[in-house]
Structure formats: structure tokens, C-alpha cells
Amino acid sequence: MTSGGDSPGMNAAIRSVVRTCAFYNLESVGIYRGYEGMIEGDFIELNARSVKGIINKGGTFLKSARSKEFRTKEGRQEAYNQLKKENIDALVTIGGDGTFTGALIFNKEFNFPVIGIPGTIDNDIAGTSHTLGYDTALNTVVDVIDKIRDTASSHNRLFFIEVMGRDVGHIALNAGVGAGAEEILIPEENLGLDRLVESLQRSKESGKSSSIVVVAEGDKTGSNVFELKDYINEHMPEYDVRVSVLGHMQRGGSPSCFDRVLASRMGVKSVECLLEGQSNLMVGLINDKISTTPLDKAIKGQSKINKELIRVSDIMST
Ligand code: F6P
């Protein structure tokens, strides 16, 4: 099942889970629309051939949802009844922290074996250096910023580019460094509006005629990118400012090779964990090895940004 915000690589992970089941002579059933579909018994039997031609497809063919009903005891009871009716005896759930929180409660209430695969472009899960879709999203964002830079430099403009990341700045920080942004604003470090103005002032003085500022959606420097634009318009009228909010385009597209390989590795491990009788684990990538982390640790310990990148970014924007 896939649940929460979709991410590139989810299809590749479903394919891997289904093919690993086939390899071990296990039957697999896909659940549509995450916990919503579980409650409604919206299932489909899958076999090795039903997942052909999807490794390269963005989104998730099982579809995804954020379920309110699963947050209720009655909803979860109905979900359990549906799984039992279908003789399903273990769950691999692909999603983010909301998905894993639901899986843990479900396991506690019904002692139902669950294994999580981290799928979110935000990379905001502990216990893995990369979540599925993060690498693809980074490449998408860098590609778009490169394009925006073409027009920014043609018009000597300053662009504020908002990228996804409600609570964490992984996308902003990495894509910002990768695309050569002059400033990167992330939720983890509120640098403040004065510091932003000073930095842009320095950029101007050092001869830069255009600038790119990447802003994570959860950043608190302004209340949003449009407010940042207004502030700079007011305090630095010499700048011609534009805003670009990249939005959901960051969640789409064909997964990168990295995400496809990661999905394939995680899918195999998830089924093998269940075969070994394990539960309440998340499969992740640690030091390039597929490892497991207890689901509760994965949820609670949010992944930390790489502070070295902040320093690198500061030096690069000299
Ligand atoms: O969690 C992934 C994510 O893409 C966030 O970066 C973003 O804030 C959120 O989902 C958007 O959610 P929705 O698709 O429900 O608007």
C-alpha cells in the first residue's frame, strides 16, 4: 500500500515487494488509496506480471490518500476486518511519518505485522539517508532552477523560488547548493530578514546582477515567499524581484536511477523482514547499506540537515 503524499519511486517499490513475494511463493495483494482503501476493502490481487512496465513511472498506480477515518478506532477496526476477510496477514506500507504512525497504532491494537518503506520527497524520516523520491525531486528542482536562472540573468532579476519541505530544508539546501543559489532559507535556521538584506547587498556590491534565493516552504524568515518579495521591494528598491512557487511538479516525474535502485533494494528487504517474523520496522539506507530502524524511532527522530552544506553554500555565494 502507498499512503500520504506520493513520491517518485513508489511504483518501483511496489514492483519490488510484489516480485519478492513471487520469488518466495507468497501471494500479494495491493491496497488502493492507502488506509482509505484498506477500510473499504479496495484490494487487487497482484503477481509478478501485474507490476510490469512501472519501474520508470512517477506517482503510484495503487494511488494514495491521507485518511481521516483511519485515525478513529472504528475506522481501524473496519480496516482490520477487511484484511482478515481477504486473508492478508502482513502489511508493507510505503509513505512518510503519518503513514508509519498509523501503522504503529494498527500493530498495537491488532498485533498485525507491519514493515514501512520511507517514501516522501521531503527526506524527513530518521533511519535512512534517503527516502524514496527525494533524489528525483532534487534533480527536478535543480533542473527548474537552472531554467529560472536563464531568465533571471537575462533581466538582472532577483528570484525567490519556493520548494517543498514543510518541516525540513533538505530539498532547499541540497538543490540550492546544486543550482548555485545565492541564499537558501530553511526551517532549521531562521537567519532573519536583516541578514537576508545584508547578503543581497553584498551580492550586488560584488558585481552580481541577478540572484536566486531558494526558500523551503516551511521557512519562517517571512510568512511566505510573497512577503519576502514585498520586504525586499520595500528595503531594496534597486532589485527587480519575482517569485516562483514550484509546488507539486516536484512530486512528479520518472524516478531517477538512484530512486529505482533504492526502491528495489527496500522492497526486497521489507518482504524478507516479514518472512523472518519481524514487525514494526522501517527499511532504510544507512551508509549505503539496507538497514532497519524501529518504526517509532524513524517517526520521532526527524532527519537532520547537513550543516556542512550551509557553510559550503555561504562560501559559494561569495
Ligand atoms: O510530504 C510531502 C509533501 O509534498 C510536502 O513537501 C508538502 O508540504 C505536502 O506534501 C503537500 O501536501 P498535499 O499534496 O496534500 O498538498
What's the whole-model pTM score?
0.97
Q: In this predicted model, what pLDDT tens digit does every residue of 88-126 receive, in sequence order?
A: 999 999 999 999 999 999 999 999 999 999 999 999 999
Q: Is the CB of 166 under 6 A from ligand 1?
A: yes
**317 located within any domain:** no
Q: In this predicted model, what pLDDT tens digit does every residue of 226-236 receive, in sequence order?
A: 999 999 999 99
**18 located within any domain:** yes
Residue of 164, 168, 219, 250 best suited for mutating to test ligand 1, as the one with most atoms within 8 Å of CB: 164
Q: Check which CATH number belongs to the domain holding 279 and give it.
A: 3.40.50.450
Q: Is the CB of 165 under 6 A from ligand 1?
A: yes
Gap between the Cα atoms of 87 and 234, Å rounded:
64
Work out the number of other CB atoms within 10 angstroms of the CB of residue 115. 26
Q: In this predicted model, what pLDDT tens digit does every residue of 72-86 receive, in sequence order?
A: 999 999 999 999 999
Q: Is the CB of 96 under 6 A from ligand 1?
A: yes
Same domain? 99 vs 181: no
Same domain? 227 vs 206: yes
Q: Are 21 and 271 within 8 A, CB to CB?
A: yes
Same domain? 33 vs 175: no
Q: Provide the residue range defining the domain that includes 79.
A: 10-133+255-300
Same domain? 57 vs 167: no
Ligand 1 centre from 318 Cα, in Å? 33
Ligand 1 centre from 24 Cα, in Å? 35
CA-closest candidate to residue 214, choices 254, 174, 171, 184: 184
Ligand 1 centre from 5 Cα, in Å? 6
Is the pLDDT confidence value at 301 over 80?
A: no
Same domain? 243 vs 268: no
> 139-143 contacts: CB < 8 A, separation 24 or more?
139/256, 140/249, 140/250, 140/252, 140/253, 141/171, 141/175, 141/179, 141/246, 141/250, 142/175, 142/178, 142/179
**Mean per-residue pLDDT, 267-287:** 98
Same domain? 15 vs 163: no
Residue of 10, 33, 121 best suited for mutating to test ligand 1, as the one with most atoms within 8 Å of CB: 121
CA-closest candidate to residue 116, choices 224, 304, 310, 273: 273
**315 located within any domain:** no
Q: How many structural domains is the chain composed of?
A: 2
Work out the number of other CB atoms within 10 angstroms of the CB of residue 109. 12
